[in-house]
């Protein structure tokens, strides 16, 4: 992509009405645009990152045997009334009326999934069911001030699984938990599995995937020795306590409880049979008896992941994207000479690397080199390539033809050949 052709350029100043780091950087660097509090457009750069996040999620969900599909966002009131959530969730759900009919805008899809299962299954042979989609969620947020971390409208992957027994549900539940940890790791996020309450979803103990961060709105308590972790809302104790899990396991060296702020990037809910019972769905089991189906749901906020990555990966110059989700692999800059021959070289390199499948943002604007360097740091693409008379050593009589290779995370670059550039980029693509 030639930068001159990119919609959504960098801005000169930071936005004045944003307090969060993620919104400041994403807005200034041209990844998002703000429509109103808690509502953002994903500009082409932001859209590319979210598509990469989605692709990683998709690969890991598909690996568990789940099926991708797409469900509607505008729901009739009647279906939400079946579980009583039209009333119990009215604080977070946008509800509207048109021509004497009432509708809700989706903040989740349990009722819709149960209705689908009710219509399309009969016997135990139809289970388990594992279905997911990526879609917009609407949530009435009174305090939408954390940039893209907490939106009134945001993108989410939600997966639902339905099983004939609790045992079968939990088998898949923990399989998805493992897939989530792998998913987040591939994006550069080290998530903890934290026990939590179920809010308007369930009375069961649920699990959140929390990434430690000072700016996080959640508070969690975790053990520095074992995998014990609980959200503040259910933890009974305080920082510095001995870990209850270590103690109950009888370990001589019980770990210590640490308190931390964190950002919730995903959650999984073992919902049980409540939805099936309230919606009057009973499948026929192998012995002919009628039983309610056991449901679970699993969410990952894909736009929240975008914001979380910026909160975790930035310095005072801008964003530092992990390779796996960066909008482009390479930021290419040409420093031209008086003969205007360098840009021609850069054009050739751009064409040849693009032809090899390397994703390049080529800064071909007619602006100062200083501004290009600053924008390269702000946008945060992992590799910066610079070609100039110096790197090519034109006119020196030596056929050097080198390119300056610099990682966003490193201060100094190095001069390498085009072949070596291609080798390294190919290697990075494979890993």
Q: Is 223 in the site for Zn ion (CB under 5 A)?
A: yes
Question: Closest separation between CB of residue 244 and Zn ion, Å?
Answer: 8
Residues with Cβ within 8 Å of 81's Cβ and at least 6 positions away in sequence, in order, are: none
Q: Report how many residues bind Zn ion under the rule CB under 5 A.
A: 8
> Angle between the 418-430 and 342-355 helix axes, to the nearest 10 degrees?
30
Q: How far apart are CA 281 and CA 325, in angstroms?
A: 41
Please, which residue, 155 or 246, has the CB nearer to Zn ion?
A: 246
Query: Segment near Zn ion (CB under 5 A), from 51-59, 82-90, 242-250, 384-392?
Result: 242-250
Please, which residue, 225 or 324, has the CB nearer to Zn ion?
A: 225
Please, which residue, 255 or 382, has the CB nearer to Zn ion?
A: 255
Q: How far apart are CA 75 and CA 68, in angstroms?
A: 20
160 φ, ψ (degrees, to nearest 5)? -130, 135
Q: Within 250-289, which residues bind Zn ion (CB under 5 A)?
A: 255
Report residue 223 as tokens.
């053990």
Q: Is 192 in the site for Zn ion (CB under 5 A)?
A: no
Choice from 40, 107, 184, 228 touching Zn ion (CB under 5 A): 228
Residues with Cβ within 8 Å of 426's Cβ and at least 6 positions away in sequence, in order, are: 356
Q: Are 59 and 87 in contact (CB under 8 A)?
A: no
Question: Closest separation between CB of residue 222 and Zn ion, Å?
Answer: 8
> Angle between the 166-186 and 44-63 helix axes, to the nearest 10 degrees?
140
Count CA atoms within 13 Å of residue 335 on its CB side.
19
Query: Segment near Zn ion (CB under 5 A), from 69-77, 246-254, 327-335, 341-349?
Result: 246-254
Question: Closest separation between CB of residue 46 and Zn ion, Å?
Answer: 39
Q: Is 245 in the site for Zn ion (CB under 5 A)?
A: yes
Q: Is 246 in the site for Zn ion (CB under 5 A)?
A: yes
Question: Closest separation between CB of residue 256 and Zn ion, Å?
Answer: 8
| Alpha-carbon distances, residue 150 vs 140, 155, 200, 245 (angstroms) | 10, 11, 18, 32
Taking phi over 0 as left and psi of -120 to 50 as alpha, with beta for the rest, 37 belongs to beta
Query: Segment near Zn ion (CB under 5 A), from 88-96, 138-146, 222-230, 373-381?
Result: 222-230
Query: Segment near Zn ion (CB under 5 A), from 134-142, 161-169, 247-255, 403-411?
Result: 247-255
Residues that bind Zn ion (CB under 5 A): 223, 225-226, 228, 243, 245-246, 255
């Amino acid at each position: 992509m030639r930068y001159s052709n990119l919609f959504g350029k960098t801005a000169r100043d930071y936005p004045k009405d944003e307090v969060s780091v993620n919104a400041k950087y994403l807005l200034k660097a041209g990844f998002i645009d703000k429509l109103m509090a808690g509502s953002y457009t994903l500009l082409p750069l932001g859209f590319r990152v979210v598509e990469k996040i989605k692709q990683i999620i998709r690969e890991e969900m598909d690996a568990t045997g789940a099926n991708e599909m797409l469900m509607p966002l505008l729901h009739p009131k009647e279906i939400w009334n079946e579980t009583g959530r039209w009333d119990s969730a009215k604080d977070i759900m946008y509800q509207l009326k048109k021509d004497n009919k009432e509708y809700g805008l989706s903040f989740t899809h349990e009722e819709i999934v149960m209705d689908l299962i009710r219509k399309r299954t009969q016997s135990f042979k139809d289970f388990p069911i594992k279905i997911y989609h990526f879609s917009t969620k609407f949530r009435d947020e009174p305090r939408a001030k954390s940039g893209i971390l907490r939106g009134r409208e945001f993108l989410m992957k939600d997966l639902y699984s339905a099983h004939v027994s609790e045992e079968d549900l939990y088998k898949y539940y923990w399989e998805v938990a493992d897939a989530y940890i792998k998913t987040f790791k591939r994006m550069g996020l080290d998530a903890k599995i934290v026990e939590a309450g179920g809010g308007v979803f369930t009375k069961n103990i649920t699990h959140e995937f929390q990434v430690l961060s000072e700016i996080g709105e959640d508070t969690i308590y975790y053990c520095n020795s074992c995998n014990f972790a609980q959200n503040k809302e259910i933890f009974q104790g305080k920082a510095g306590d001995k870990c209850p899990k270590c103690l109950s396991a009888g370990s001589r060296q019980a770990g210590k409880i640490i308190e931390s702020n964190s950002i919730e990037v995903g959650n999984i809910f073992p919902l049980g049979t409540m939805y099936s019972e309230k919606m009057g769905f009973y499948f026929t089991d192998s012995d002919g008896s009628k039983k309610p189906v056991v449901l679970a749901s699993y969410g990952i906020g894909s736009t929240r992941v975008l914001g979380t990555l910026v909160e975790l990966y930035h310095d005072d110059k801008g964003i530092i994207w992990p390779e796996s989700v960066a909008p482009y692999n390479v930021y290419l800059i040409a420093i031209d000479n008086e003969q205007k021959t360098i840009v021609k070289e850069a054009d050739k390199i751009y064409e040849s690397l693009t032809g090899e499948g390397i994703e390049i943002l080529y800064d071909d604007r007619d602006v100062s080199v200083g501004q290009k360097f600053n924008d390269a740091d702000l946008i945060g693409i992992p590799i910066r390539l610079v070609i100039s008379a110096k790197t090519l050593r034109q006119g020196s009589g030596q056929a050097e033809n080198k390119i300056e290779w610099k990682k966003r995370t490193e201060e100094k670059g190095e001069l390498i050949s085009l072949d070596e550039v291609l080798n390294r980029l190919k290697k990075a693509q494979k890993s």
